[in-house]
Amino acid sequence: MMGHKADKSFFNEKRHWSKRKDQILECYLPPYLFKIATQGHPILIVDAFAGPGKFGDGEAGSPLIICRNIQEASSKGLTVPVTLLCIDDDKELYSELCNSIHRFSFAKAKHGKFGDYIPWIQEKAKNHSIFLYVDPFTVEGLDWDQMDSIFQHLSISHMSIEILMNFNARSFVRRGLAALKLTVPEPNSEIEDEEEIDVPLITPPSIERLNTVVGGYWWQEILESSMSFPEKVQAVTNGVCRMLSKRFREVCQHAIKALPHHTVPKYCLIFGSRHPDALILMNNEMVKSRQVLAELAKPKEPTLFETRPVELVPDIEELPPIILRHTSQLIARRNVILNIIREYFCQFSAKQIRGCIEQMLKTGKLKSETGKTRINDKTKIFTAK
Ligand SMILES: C[S@@+](CC[C@H](N)C(=O)[O-])C[C@H]1O[C@@H](n2cnc3c(N)ncnc32)[C@H](O)[C@@H]1O
């Protein structure tokens, strides 16, 4: 029987993968707040599955992380007001949440389901920049159409909406297999963390319920295919990204694994924004998170060559030919960086790409429209013939 943690013991102590997830939220928020403030609209952050705000070991949960960042940004002269709405449907956790955040006047705690607050958020989307943080235990409580009714505003207005979602694809796939009456694989410690944050599947969820979670029946074909379990988990994650791509120009994903060699992540962070700068920022944070995992995989004894897989430690030598492929026509440096990040998400940071471009300008492999080697993001560059 797999252990499960979809109960309050989850909040006893924060695990290292939760820390990596929180780090991404924590580092993304300050640049986000200042960047989005330039649009001049008030900001609403929604922590849709907030939890108690604080872990038993004293570590901050997402509500406190967000509060501290808002406070810090305001003290540094953020020019627009920010409101935080934290929602939790567990009475006890809600009351802990109230205690955790009561000293922050811009933060409100609400008891109930995320779904209950959708009409309110929709109303706010008309004149607020919105950042939605969606971090459920499993896939319970997720409802694609509900979220999409917020995203719809993107097609009719210029307001900004961003989403950072924790999607537990392995839980979804196990539930889906059970619902389709297919074999559900036992957790296998070689490929995944055995401690499943999930309730035991005594009664499998209905197929309809799972359609509601991901906005359609597209997942069924994946689960019925001959793919392996890790491949199915990846394919369903890609499917959710495709759904988000209908609304957001920039969509990316980052697998949060418990151990570097796992092929099935604990869950996946999926991010959607319409703004390219947001993708570049998120890429930087997710590169850092990958580097933390790569550190965990470092051999104890130093080795002559890199022994870790390229998914963990991408080969920087690959970058020059990639840059050449992206500069066959005159193009601004910023767009080269953006296009490479879109194609090779989480492999290279903007700083690495910029550094490599500078090197290639110096060695004459690239030319800039100004003829100089020190250029800015707007300067156009091209492959030297
Ligand atoms: C993974 S925990 C959130 C952890 C939190 N983001 C953090 O970093 O500290 C998920 C929370 O969602 C709450 N929850 C479950 N279903 C919900 C729903 N439909 N709406 C809002 N909250 C829900 C649970 O009570 C639980 O506290």
The model's pLDDT over 197-225, given as tens digits with 9 standing for 90+, comes to 555 566 678 999 999 999 999 999 999 99
Pairing of strands 366-368, 129-134: unpaired
Range of the domain at 130: 8-274
> What's the pLDDT at 165?
98
CB-side neighbour CA atoms (13 Å) of 5: 15
> What's the pLDDT at 260?
86
Share of the chain above pLDDT 90, in %: 79
> What's the pLDDT at 356?
98
Could you tell me the pLDDT band of residue 358, with boundaries at 50, 70 and 90? very high
Confirm whether 308 is domain-assigned.
Answer: no
> Is the Cβ atom of 114 under 6 angstroms away from ligand 1?
yes
The domain boundary, picked from 241, 274, 307, lies at 274
- The atom number, within ligand 1, closest to the CA of 116 reads 20
Three-class secondary structure of residue 290 per DSSP: helix
> What's the pLDDT at 304?
84
Answer yes or no: is pLDDT of 6 > 70. no
Answer yes or no: is pLDDT of 233 > 50. yes
Confirm whether 119 is domain-assigned.
Answer: yes
Confirm whether 239 is domain-assigned.
Answer: yes
Shared domain for 342 and 246, answered yes or no, is: no
Shared domain for 209 and 325, answered yes or no, is: no
Shared domain for 188 and 269, answered yes or no, is: yes
Could you tell me the pLDDT band of residue 84, with boundaries at 50, 70 and 90? very high
- CA of 97 from ligand 1 middle (Å) equals 11
Shared domain for 17 and 158, answered yes or no, is: yes
> What is the best residue among 89, 101, 209 to mutate for testing ligand 1's pocket, by most ligand atoms within 8 Å of CB?
89
Cα separation, 380 vs 369, whole angstroms: 6
- The atom number, within ligand 1, closest to the CA of 197 reads 1
Shared domain for 66 and 162, answered yes or no, is: yes
The model's pLDDT over 86-111, given as tens digits with 9 standing for 90+, comes to 999 999 999 999 999 999 999 999 99
Confirm whether 296 is domain-assigned.
Answer: no
In this structure, what CATH number is given to the domain that contains residue 321?
1.10.10
The burial class, CB within 10 Å (0-12 / 13-18 / 19+), for 40 is exposed
> Is the Cβ atom of 134 under 6 angstroms away from ligand 1?
no
Confirm whether 70 is domain-assigned.
Answer: yes
- CA of 115 from ligand 1 middle (Å) equals 12
pTM metric for this prediction: 0.94
Q: Which two tokens stand for residue 278?
A: 């947001």
The model's pLDDT over 284-321, given as tens digits with 9 standing for 90+, comes to 999 999 998 888 888 888 888 888 888 899 999 999 99
Residues 303, 304, 309, 310, CA torsion sign: positive
**Could you say which DSSP state residue 54 is in?**
B
Cα separation, 160 vs 168, whole angstroms: 26
Instruction: Work out the angle at residue 298's Cα, subtended by the Cα atoms of residues 294 and 303, and round it to the nearest 5 degrees.
Output: 130
Shared domain for 28 and 87, answered yes or no, is: yes
- CA of 88 from ligand 1 middle (Å) equals 6
> Is the Cβ atom of 26 under 6 angstroms away from ligand 1?
no
Three-class secondary structure of residue 255 per DSSP: strand
> What's the pLDDT at 197?
52
Shared domain for 205 and 59, answered yes or no, is: yes
Could you tell me the pLDDT band of residue 3, with boundaries at 50, 70 and 90? very low
> What's the pLDDT at 195?
77
Confirm whether 252 is domain-assigned.
Answer: yes
| Least confident window among 16-30, 143-157, 199-213, 364-378 | 199-213
> Is the Cβ atom of 23 under 6 angstroms away from ligand 1?
no
Cα separation, 109 vs 52, whole angstroms: 10
Residues 341, 346, 349, 352, CA torsion sign: negative
- CA of 51 from ligand 1 middle (Å) equals 5
- The atom number, within ligand 1, closest to the CA of 22 reads 8
> Is the Cβ atom of 61 under 6 angstroms away from ligand 1?
yes
Three-class secondary structure of residue 87 per DSSP: strand
- CA of 69 from ligand 1 middle (Å) equals 20
Shared domain for 222 and 327, answered yes or no, is: no
SS3 annotation, 139-198? CCCCCHHHHHHHHCHHHHCCCCEEEEEEECHHHHHHHHHHHCCCCCCCCCCCCCCCCECC
The domain boundary, picked from 274, 302, 327, lies at 274
Confirm whether 287 is domain-assigned.
Answer: no
Nearest of 364, 341, 361, 343 to residue 351 by alpha carbon: 341
Cα separation, 312 vs 298, whole angstroms: 10
> Is the Cβ atom of 28 under 6 angstroms away from ligand 1?
no
Nearest CA to ligand 1 atom 16: 141
Alpha helices in the chain (DSSP H): 16-37, 62-75, 91-101, 118-124, 144-151, 153-156, 169-179, 207-214, 218-224, 229-245, 276-296, 319-325, 333-343, 350-362
Confirm whether 372 is domain-assigned.
Answer: yes
Could you tell me the pLDDT band of residue 128, with boundaries at 50, 70 and 90? very high
Cα separation, 58 vs 248, whole angstroms: 36
Share of the chain above pLDDT 70, in %: 96
Shared domain for 259 and 328, answered yes or no, is: no
- The atom number, within ligand 1, closest to the CA of 88 reads 22
> Is the Cβ atom of 88 under 6 angstroms away from ligand 1?
yes
> Is the Cβ atom of 51 under 6 angstroms away from ligand 1?
yes
Shared domain for 233 and 367, answered yes or no, is: no
- CA of 328 from ligand 1 middle (Å) equals 48
In this structure, what CATH number is given to the domain that contains residue 160?
3.40.50
Shared domain for 62 and 182, answered yes or no, is: yes
The domain boundary, picked from 213, 240, 274, lies at 274
Answer yes or no: is pLDDT of 29 > 80. yes
- CA of 249 from ligand 1 middle (Å) equals 28
- CA of 64 from ligand 1 middle (Å) equals 14
Pairing of strands 43-47, 82-88: parallel
- The atom number, within ligand 1, closest to the CA of 113 reads 20
Count of the separate structural domains present in the chain: 2
- The atom number, within ligand 1, closest to the CA of 90 reads 25
- CA of 105 from ligand 1 middle (Å) equals 22
Shared domain for 66 and 125, answered yes or no, is: yes
Q: Please answer whether residues 168 and 138 qualify as being in contact, where contact means their C-beta atoms are separated by less than 8 angstroms.
A: yes
